[in-house]
Homo-oligomer: A and B are copies of this chain.
Amino acid sequence: MRGMNVEKIAVVGASGYSGEELIRLLLRHPAAELVAVTSRQWVGQTLDTVYPKFAGMRYAKLAFIESEISAIVHSGARVVFLALPHGVATEYARPLVAAGLKVIDLSADFRIKDPAVYEEFYGEAPNAPELAASSVYGMPEIYRDKIAAAQLVASPGCYPTSIILPLYPLLKKKLLKPETIVVSSVSGVSGAGRTAKVDYLYVECNESVRSYSVPKHRHLGEIEQELSAAYGEKVMINFTPHLMPVNRGIHSTIYASRADGVTPAEINSALEAQYGTEPFVRLLGEKGSPDTKNVTFTNFVDIGWRHDPRTGRVVLLSAEDNLVKGASGQAIQSLNIMCGLPETTGLL
């Protein structure tokens, strides 16, 4: 792309769905030069052998290398994406950060600032609280300036993105009563990862809807962290995730009572003020209904809302692709910001 700097990029751990999606997006990104993909199980194999869908595209013949720090540094990468299982990112992030590289982590390892909260939700102490402390939560619509200056970005979880974005401006302006917040979300099965478990077999998920991790899903930690930051006080909510038979997509339905004296018009104004010019947030207003099929394979999050005069509640509705805005697309949005590229590069 004319006049655009090209950034050398490495992807560490590309066997899961978000790693694969990261590669899919980077193959189309005009300012990304993919210099290394790493994987223990696939060393020496080319990208198109492992992922036949990438055959015939640029970098299709790039071969996986060992997931070793020296190899990654040696690749010349300036920015490294970590698409690793929960708990493994630290061993890569620490030396890569020390080596001066920029790191964007897609796991939960660095998202939670308070070690006690991490321990509450993950059942163990965080591996690297100092990295969590110095990292930036990679939600551009809220932390754009910090991301621009960050060396380590903790890219948000899929559910949190769909929940924090609609609530953020309303809590920040104290338009809602935070203790009344209740969230029901449904997610496509790719959110469960590419793991060979009977629970996620086709036959077990097709023609099925079920909740899981009620009432304390791990993502609740980062959701409440960000809602509390917005509101200025500790916020605790109910959040119920459900699995539904689609490949991609999260739909969140959020209920909260308006704070005393708040009008519906103020709700709308706050959303418009916050997101009116955001490239990836589409406000559907009081009539539109977000539909996951309108956002899958895109980096958009669609937000609609309703006011119920009978109960005084606001109902916020949001939809996103859990693998794009909920994971890899948002991570690339951070990449663009960190590298001084137009934020939408490779994402529209």
Contacts and interface: CB of A to CB of B under 8 A. Distances in A.
Interface of A: 2, 17, 28, 52-53, 55-58, 179-180, 182, 184, 186, 188-190, 194-198, 200-212, 214-216, 236-238, 240, 242, 244-249, 251, 253, 255, 279-280, 282, 284, 288-298, 300, 302, 306-308, 310-311, 313, 315, 317, 319, 348
Nearest to A206: B247
Given A206-B245, A207-B296, A291-B52, A237 B189 contact: no
Given A202-B205, A207-B292, A245-B245, A215 B315 contact: yes
B184 A53 contact: no
Contact of A201 (B196, B307, B319): B196
A255 B296 CA distance: 29
A56 B279 contact: yes
A184 B246 contact: no
A282 B55 contact: yes
Given A52-B294, A53-B294, A240-B315, A206 B206 contact: yes
A190 B203 contact: yes
A317 B300 CA distance: 31
Contacts of A319: 209-210
Nearest to A60: B282
A282 B56 contact: yes
A248 to B, nearest CB: 7
14 contacts: A28-B348, A52-B284, A55-B300, A189-B201, A194-B204, A195-B201, A196-B196, A201-B202, A206-B206, A208-B249, A214-B289, A236-B311, A255-B255, A297-B297
Which 6 A-B pairs have CB atoms at the shortest separation, nearest pair first? A184-B184, A208-B293, A210-B291, A215-B308, A202-B205, A53-B294
Given A56-B279, A211-B253, A236 B310 contact: yes
A212 B306 CA distance: 11
A202 B292 CA distance: 15
Given A201-B201, A289-B211, A253 B242 contact: yes
Contact of A210 (B247, B290, B311): B290
Given A197-B196, A282-B55, A300-B56, A246 B289 contact: no
Contact of A206 (B17, B202, B302): B202
